[in-house]
Amino acid sequence: MIWFRPYTLEEIRFRTATLASALGIEFIELGPDYFRGRMPVDDRTRQPFGILHGGASVALAETLGSVAAGLVIDPAKYRAVGQEINANHVRAVSEGFVIGTARPLHLGKRSQVWDIRIVNKEDKLVCVSRITMAVLEK
């Protein structure tokens, strides 16, 4: 297990109004080395042509990568902040949900790199993203 301590989904769910909560992002699974969430494809997350907005996919990816990064470190001593994110959009989605899974590529003392894969209901790749997080002392 890569997490700083055993967490439950209830502990890490949003408690205040955030971009992620406005987009309907939900955390659905915390595995031994991955963090998973889902986001609806609806009027909040579609672009004007009726398909999932690329920025919404990036918001899902950044949310999952950022939260996961924070779960790996001691929150009393450190905080993780985003440095860079990129995304490749490979398939359109017009309804339902997309599911993102964040897995670490690198967990260092001062930086982390996370791979986030977003799939549709048929488990086909919609977007692949990578986020680099800086780990800073509080």
Tokens of 20: 């992620």
Look up the CATH number of the domain holding residue 40. Answer: 3.10.129.10
- Whether the CB-CB separation of 57 and 98 falls below 8 Å is answered with yes
Q: Is 9 inside a domain boundary?
A: no
Quote the percentage of the chain above a pLDDT of 70. 98
Question: What is the count of structural domains for the chain?
Answer: 1
- 100 inside domain: yes
| Measured CA distances, 39 to 14, 45, 58, 77, 110 (Å) | 14, 8, 11, 31, 30
Region of 123 please: left (phi>0), alpha (psi -120 to 50) or beta: left
Domain membership flag for residue 11? no
For 133, phi then psi, to 5°, come to -115, 135
Query: What is the residue range of 74's domain?
Result: 19-137
Is 64 within the bounds of a domain?
A: yes
Number of neighbouring beta carbons within 10 Å of residue 41: 24
Residue 107 lies in a domain: yes
pLDDT at residue 15 in the model: 65
Residues with a catalytic annotation lie at 62
pLDDT band, very low/low/confident/very high, at 17 (cuts 50, 70, 90): confident
Confirm whether 37 is domain-assigned: yes
Indicate the pLDDT class of residue 100, thresholds 50, 70 and 90: very high
In sequence order, the β-bridge partners of residue 37 are 27, 100
Answer whether residue 14 is part of any domain.
Answer: no
